Structure 1
Amino acid sequence: MSHLSERIKEVELRIEQACRRAGRSKEEIKVIAVTKYVSTETTLAAVKLGLAHLGENRWQNARGKWEALDREAEQGIIYRPTWHYIGSLQTNKAKDVVGKFTYIHSLDRLSLAQAIDKQAAQLGIIVPCFIQVNVSGEDSKHGLEPDQLFTFVEELAQFSSIKPIGLMTMAPYEAEAEETRPVFRALRELRDALNERAQAANSINTVTELSMGMSNDFEVAIEEGATWIRLGTVLIGKEEE
């Protein structure tokens, strides 16, 4: 627990320093603790230390943690954390995720939007989603191509149980984090261009959030406008299986 607390404090300091360099407030940055490489016990410890947002990329791996933390919250032992689904989501798995994960960070195709919308409508909820954009163009990355974004957003208007709130991307892993800057800058510029289009059309459907930056590059992402950063090993660590 003490080692985890030290990690959290170190990350908070680095966030503060990045915000200072960018002329931003630390309150603008929200941290998602990615728990995919740690146990339920470590995840519970993280929540007890104040990490209120948890991220997982597969329901089958998250299920045990979700159920354990849900029981703890029901008993009043912990505050209920907010779950974020951050991995590529198969259409047939939407029913497992919607209603348990408050946010979905990987909306990238209409078939998935339809599946999310259908499940959300059955539950009577609206799901805040990030649209995933493959800014780097890597074949190994999921997401829309940047030039598909504007049309995709227009098509999302047909789904009343989905609320697009921002964009998400993953930068290539670089030994030097500075090399990721063009990717993050491009996502911010896409968001701004999307909002300019909305304003020109007298639409109130603007997006404000940018989910970008991970353990290796989150400081650069903050400098380029990230509002949500997804941190695993640097924050929570990695345990041997």
Structure 2
Amino acid sequence: MTGSGEQPDDETRRQELGAALDAVRDRIQRACRGAGRDAGALTLVTVTKFFPVTDVAHLIRLGVRDIAENKDQEASAKAAELAELLTPEARGELTWHFVGQLQTNKARSVARYADVVQSVDRPKLVRALDRAAGAAIEAGERTTYLGVTVQLDLEEGEHAGRGGVLPDEAAGLADLVAESAHLDLLGVMAVAPADLDPEGTRAAFDRVVEIGQRIATTHPGATWRSMGMSGDLEQAIAAGATHLRVGSAILGTRPTPR
């Protein structure tokens, strides 16, 4: 599948993406059958970072409705380009997810186009996003609250603190989101620690579900368990994921950013 280097023609690329998307959907179906789950209850979020907006347009035509980016400059540019490429009806069906580490000074920009910010990990960011979403609503740039998931830091030792709130602090951060005037608490998000075997990865995802369930006892609407990526989506489904964030298994090896 295409990564860096010369790009294929438009139709070849569409066929590549379609075949890869079908393969990922088949993996999801098989994993759901093995876990006794309904695949229709899961949302596939396609992570398109570093790939061109033409790929995003192909994916939308192939039925993808949830797109994720992790850098504001790239995400905002793609959202603006797609606004020109898609009909109002198609734009209305699309959900933009921001999944990267977010600086507070980018909150106002993200609030203009994102439907969900999955990487909320500190009180300062909650407050910045709340102000930004309120300003966007007032300016007519959005009509709904900004969806939020609390990102959990499952790493330990030297790798801890690279993104996400510590599990013991997750409930307090969720409370702060829920108390905000312009944010909608959707649930939790996490990335499994690196270098785990499948059993360890499954245990990490079980922990995410446990934390999410505790938060949901206070906030019943916080039902999202966003976890699982290209290499570990089967373990995430078995543990109870509701949203899968898949990039390379659909789009190929990421090109080197310029």
Q: Fold match, TM over 0.5? A: yes
Aligned residues of 2:104 and 2:128 also touching (Cα < 8 A): yes
Q: Which residue matches 2:118?
A: 105
| Greater share of helix | 2
C-alpha distance in structure 2 between counterparts of 1:225 and 1:19, whole Å? 10
Match of 1:16 in 2: 29
Which residues of structure 1 form unaligned runs of 5+? Answer: 199-203
1:170 aligns with: 191
Q: Share of identical aligned residues, percent?
A: 29
Q: 1:235 to 1:79 in 2, by over 3 A?
A: farther
Greater shift after overlay, 74-83 or 15-24? 74-83
Q: CA deviation at 1:240?
A: 3.4
Contact between 2:230 and 2:245, CA under 8 Å: does it hold in 1?
yes
Give matches, 1:14-163, under 5 Å: 14-74=27-87, 81-124=94-137, 125-137=144-156, 138-139=159-160, 141-163=162-184
Q: CA deviation at 1:76?
A: 6.6
List gaps (5 residues or longer) in structure 2: 1-13, 138-143
RMSD: 2.0
8 A Cα contact 2:99 2:119, kept in partner: yes
* TM-aligned CA distance change 1:83 to 1:156, over 3 Å: closer
1:199-210 mapped onto 2 (5 Å cutoff): 205-210=220-225
Q: State which of 193, 197, 204 in structure 2 corresponds to 1:183.
A: 204
Could you tell me how far 1:46 is from its partner in structure 2?
Answer: 1.1
Does residue 1:218 correspond to 2:237, yes or no?
no
Shift of 1:14: 0.4
Deviations 1:169-191 (A, max 9, x none): 01123374443111110000111
Range with greater deviation from structure 2 (65-74 or 94-103):
65-74
- How many residues are matched? 235
Offset, 1:4:
1.1
- How far did residue 56 of structure 1 move? 0.3
The offset of 1:212, in angstroms, is 0.5
Residue 229 of structure 1 is matched in structure 2 by 244
Q: What is the CA–CA distance in structure 1 between the aligned matches of 2:88 and 2:112, rounded to whole Å?
A: 20
